[in-house]
Chains A and B, each alone.
Chain A
Amino acid sequence: MSATATARRWVFAGALVLAVLAALRLVVPVGSVPGRMLASVLDVGYASSVLRLTVPIAFAALGGIFAERAGVINIGIEGFLIVSALTTVIVARRLPWAGVTGPAALWLAFLVGVLVSVAVAAVFAVLVVRYRSNQVIAGLAVWLIALGLAPFITFTLFDSSSPTIDTFGTWSVPLLSELPVVGPVLFDASPTVYMLLVATPLAWYALRYTRLGRRIRACGENPKALATGGVSVSRVRYAGVLISGVLAGVGGAGFTVGQVGTFVAVGQTSINGRGFLGIVAYLFGNYNPFAAVGGAMLFAGFDSLQLRLQQIGALDIPAELFGILPFVVVLVTITLVRRTRVPAALGEPYEGEE
């Protein structure tokens, strides 16, 4: 069912977005404002900013897919993003003391950020796979711990609640970046955008055609059958959760050193729910990597739109309304368009092996 249902979801979400835009037009006084609104959407800058904002959400979504397809609910993905973002900032700020500077320091910081995310994922995996934690509660706990650690560590190490670092900047691909429209959007972008463009088809291919991918899917659907075939369910689940840690780490570290160049430690931190949006994105995309990244793009589109519409002074719409729009669209969509096909053994600890 998944292909048709996913397609239907897309049509529905598209229609919903159009309906929202149409409704906005009714609210907004006629004049130059709607024109300026449309202009701000149909523009190369908007497309690049959407792509940029997609990256962390999409990596969170890809990560979530690997854990859940292996049968492990990973509500804690937001925590993975926070931890990797925090680590990246700390390492990038401390490396110059050790004499490492420039891009080398940034890339090292990125790498350490990913590694720490993987380490957290490993602890989480041991708890849920070996010790059969309640997966939803353990995931929430990972998020809550990260939410506490971020300000605690930031306040002890730095004078500011939002330490800043340099970013990767953009890489432009020779020749291709000069193509009209597509060039500046796809080929003059942050390295993290390229990573996403590579990771998405790779994740799709890995899940569908590799041995590990097939095992991960079997593990989420019918772990007993997998065990009967002589494969260790625990090992496959460990692999799923660790891959999820890698991808989420790339999302969190990449967001920090690839785009914003800062880590805000207060409130919801600079990650600000992007991990949760990732979860919703893969539910929306029915666990298909391409569709999930599409969902992430939808949220990023709203996020970016909000920033742009705020710049049009004449437009009197509260920013918060745009902030919640993605959540509303997602809630309505996952509610009205066919039930999400959840892996059958999701959330169930496997009891068969010691």
Chain B
Amino acid sequence: MSRALPEGLRRTLRRFAGLSAVERVLVSGAAVVVALLVGAVMLLGSGYVASCREPALFLAGTSFCFDPVAVYAAMYQGAFGTPVNQALTLQRMTLLIFTGLAFAIPYRAGLFNIGAQGQFVLAALATTVSLLALGPLVSGPVATAVLVPVGLLAGAVVGGLYGLLPGVLKTRYGTNEVISTLLLNFIATGVAVVIVKRAFNNPEIQGTVTRSIPEAATLQPWLFPPGTRFSVPVLAATLLLVGGFWWLLNRTTLGYDIRVLGRQQAAAVFGGVDDDRVTVLSMVIAGAVAGLGGGLYVMMVVGRWQVGLPALGFDGIAVSVLAGNNPVGLVPAGLLFGALQSGGLAINFQLGIPRELVDVLRGLVILLVATPELFRIVGRRLQRQGRLRPAGGESG
């Protein structure tokens, strides 16, 4: 993770982080497995209490409404079974990488950005509004070339500004960023609803919805069936962005400052890191990335702003935590959570099991990942009992 640093400093930093990369991967994997097991127990328990006409499972003379194995199988099918399902999984993964980055970057600087949801919501509105305003002015083949960058830029700028706010509040007034970003989420949704209701409501549709953005600004599916709302070039660009952030964190001065500040604030400041500048910058970058995600959500998925945007900002926290707040780790973590989301839709559709099972799994995963000590103690105990060979770092 920190190959650019001298060996001695690397060892010190690792002790502060407390976990090696291998350990992190093991803990994340174990957390996912344990969460799935707990989920299975939950399915059995609720299937035992609930009443249903056709029980799915009989065990020891008792009937259960849900069969965990069948549920997980349906989830897997729903996530990867058909090209349409794969597209949905990859679409969610792409968006989750953006909101995940919005948590990961400030986290590396020692900041909790709980505000990705608000940044996402307002940026989505900014993208929509700018495209609605600009759409009628351009036409023909240039339209896409103009509208796509403008839409994304609008999202990034508004998201960045909404990230700047808690950054400045923290550096100038010492306002705790956990609280300010949490509050700003509630404020963002309220403000967005008021703006849409007052200025951009689509009178033809009931509810708080804007008109649809121009066709030319919609990111079309490619390689996947039409209507799947996932665009391969977007995923490619996202992966490039992930690489860019890995490079930023590990190969640039700013990245070095961010990491040192996150690990040892006093030492960083003593060593000449401009604490305030790094705080504000990482919050702005985070907001802009979450904003890009919001813009993409509009341009790739819904094509308009509407009430009840998905909680991708909060899911991003889970993704980032699972990824050990490492940009590269966001890709597999995003894939897992993307698959959980599309799988959740499938079990709801096919088996009538509440989709929210997936939300419980998400919470369990991050609860367990936040508690590496649990696995370490269990691992040590197993070692002592001789069930694991003592060599290597497999204790997790």
Chain A interface residues toward B at CB < 8 A: 75, 127, 131-134, 136-138, 140-153, 155-157, 267, 273, 276, 279-280, 283, 318, 320-321, 323-324, 327-328, 330-331, 334-336, 339-340, 342
Query: Could you list 14 further interchain pairs (A-B, Cβ under 8 angstroms) beyond the known A133-B373, A141-B366?
Result: A131-B371, A138-B371, A141-B370, A145-B360, A148-B363, A151-B354, A267-B308, A279-B179, A280-B183, A320-B194, A324-B186, A324-B187, A331-B187, A335-B169
Residues on B with beta carbons closer than 8 Å to the beta carbon of A127: 367, 370-371, 374
Please name 23 pairs of A and B residues whose Cβ atoms are closer than 8 Å in the assembled complex, sorted by A.
Answer: A127-B367, A131-B371, A131-B377, A140-B114, A142-B363, A142-B367, A145-B363, A148-B359, A149-B360, A150-B356, A152-B46, A153-B46, A279-B179, A320-B194, A323-B190, A324-B186, A324-B189, A324-B190, A327-B183, A327-B186, A331-B187, A334-B175, A335-B169
Nearest Cβ distance between residue B243 and chain A, in whole angstroms? Answer: 26
Contact A144–B359 (Cβ < 8 Å): yes
Residues on A with beta carbons closer than 8 Å to the beta carbon of B186: 273, 276, 323-324, 327
At the interface, yes or no: B364 with Cβ under 8 Å from chain A? yes
Closest B residue to A150 using CB positions: B356
Mostly, the B contact residues are helix
Number of interface residues of B (CB under 8 A): 51
Binds A, one of B280-288, B314-322, B383-391: B314-322
At the interface, yes or no: B184 with Cβ under 8 Å from chain A? yes
Known: A318-B194, A324-B187. A283 touches B179 (CB 8 A): yes
Closest A residue to B368 using CB positions: A141
Contact B50–A156 (Cβ < 8 Å): yes
At the interface, yes or no: B182 with Cβ under 8 Å from chain A? yes
Residues on B with beta carbons closer than 8 Å to the beta carbon of A334: 175, 179
Contact A134–B370 (Cβ < 8 Å): yes
Residues on B with beta carbons closer than 8 Å to the beta carbon of A331: 169, 175, 180, 183-184, 187
Interface centre among B183, B190, B198, B367 (most CB of A within 10 A): B367
Closest A residue to B352 using CB positions: A155
Nearest Cβ distance between residue B285 and chain A, in whole angstroms? Answer: 20
Residues on A with beta carbons closer than 8 Å to the beta carbon of B369: 137
Number of A-B contacts (CB under 8 A): 137
Closest A residue to B65 using CB positions: A156
Contact A318–B197 (Cβ < 8 Å): yes
A155 to B194, CA, bound (A): 31
Nearest Cβ distance between residue B200 and chain A, in whole angstroms? Answer: 13
A133 to B186, CA, bound (A): 27
Nearest Cβ distance between residue A76 and chain B, in whole angstroms? Answer: 9
Residues on A with beta carbons closer than 8 Å to the beta carbon of B193: 318, 320
Among B6-56, those with CB < 8 Å from A are: 42, 46-47, 49-50
Q: Hey, what's the 0/1 contact readout for B146-183 against A, CB within 8 Å counting as 1?
A: 00000000000000000000000100011110111011
Closest A residue to B191 using CB positions: A324
A254 to B184, CA, bound (A): 28
At the interface, yes or no: B298 with Cβ under 8 Å from chain A? no
A139 to B356, CA, bound (A): 19
Contact B194–A137 (Cβ < 8 Å): no
Residues on A with beta carbons closer than 8 Å to the beta carbon of B359: 144-145, 147-148, 151-152
Contact B318–A144 (Cβ < 8 Å): yes
Interface centre among A127, A267, A276, A335 (most CB of B within 10 A): A335
Among B50-101, those with CB < 8 Å from A are: 50, 65
Known: A152-B46, A157-B49. A327 touches B187 (CB 8 A): yes
Closest B residue to A325 using CB positions: B190
Residues on B with beta carbons closer than 8 Å to the beta carbon of A137: 317, 321, 366-367, 369-370
Residues on A with beta carbons closer than 8 Å to the beta carbon of B187: 324, 327-328, 331
A323 to B183, CA, bound (A): 12
Residues on B with beta carbons closer than 8 Å to the beta carbon of A136: 112, 178
